[in-house]
Structure 1
């Protein structure tokens, strides 16, 4: 049972309405998902979420297949079924097979050692308050991930943790 009721675009606080409307326009359902409709109670929370999404989209250098692998690996570490469902869906839409999606969720090999090295970095960081062992970090570097990529991976880690923690906090009902 959700702790925070959902808003419609029309019933949301004035400061949240434009953000919620923009989300609804890009939503596959034509309306905000429950997580967005709950975030709308606080314009600050909704603006923080949409800002993180916008900056990763605008300034990110990792392709969408990689970013959804990072989101899914982080969602699995956060342990929120709603977030894992969203990330799994988008991972599939961006080229990951069902077997690879399961691997990203469980931390097993995807068959791509380079991706596995980078997702292990975010998985460790999510599980250990941002801490990553030197061995994991070096393995990602040896897999040809640059300092820029490793730094950018943190943005996807942050976006997914922010979202997943909110979903856990609000006990959001799944609507996907």
Structure 2
């Protein structure tokens, strides 16, 4: 019996635990979900709920009711500033495996940032440190996340530029990093070691 329960944990066959929460770290049904969202007591991954404020969402609205186009260069620079700022702050607590920033618009994923550390201990120190702090004049909401394998949580169609659900997809649309910026972050990582 225990083997059977272990084999279905986190899958659609599991009628007790939410498989979506297990894969994504957030559920589209939120507290109204009929299944359990078990937050791990310890994890390598910290979820910062709605931390990244996408500049496209702050764009002024035109006469047609649609947001006015933003300068993509300026938006990318703002994102890189945010990413580097977060990377430097989090790397103080330990080695970071990766930082994942959601570009989705759906309520359960909008602005979510996942910081995956190499060790649970580093993540727990970071979580304790950020509790009660503010970023960009907003209270930081952080929690442990069950997600450690981001291949299962990302939208493969988005990576192939074929996702027809757009920003309202229920799987992560991760904000891409330019190669030059990725190299800069990689060099920061090396210098920390």
Provide the TM-score with structure 1 as the length reference: 0.27
More helix by share: 1
Provide the TM-score with structure 2 as the length reference: 0.26
More strand by share: 2
Asked which structure has the greater CA Rg, the reply is: 2
